[in-house]
Amino acid sequence: MAAGRCAGCGETASSRQVKIHILNCARFLELFREHPDRCLDPDAEFHRFRIEDDSPEARAGRRDERLRHRFAEQDIRQSREDDRWKPEPDILAY
């Protein structure tokens, strides 16, 4: 059974299921209105996805971006916690 992928939302299933899916996919319709040349047949879209977007380099880039985002959020949370638990200044120390 050949695999297919929706060019709009990225749903991956059998080619037949994706052909039925794209008939009602709002994101596929939006993509078709804006960039009809990017709306490939589900089989061709799956092949393009495997070569371009699912390559080891592309996956590594997405992983790096996710980790960068996660560490930035963690730094923000840590800063908030540091401010929250900082002791009040001693008024008698002046």
Which distant-in-sequence residues (6+ apart) come within 8 Å of 21 by Cβ? 6, 11, 13
CA gap 36, 7 in Å, rounded = 10
Which one is predicted more confidently, 1 or 58?
58
pLDDT the model gives residue 71: 96
pLDDT the model gives residue 76: 95
In DSSP terms, 13 is beta-bridged to 4
The answer, yes or no, to whether residue 50 has pLDDT greater than 90, is no
Domain ranges within the chain, ordered by starting residue: 1-54, 56-85
Instruction: Cite the beta strand spans of 1-94 per DSSP E.
Output: 3-5, 12-14
Is the Cβ–Cβ distance between 61 and 23 less than 8 Å? no
The token pair that represents 63 in the structure block: 């992983």
Say if pTM beats, i.e. exceeds, 0.75: no
Q: Over the stretch 30-46, which tens digit does the pLDDT of each residue have?
A: 999 999 888 888 998 88
Q: Over the stretch 68-82, which tens digit does the pLDDT of each residue have?
A: 999 999 999 999 998
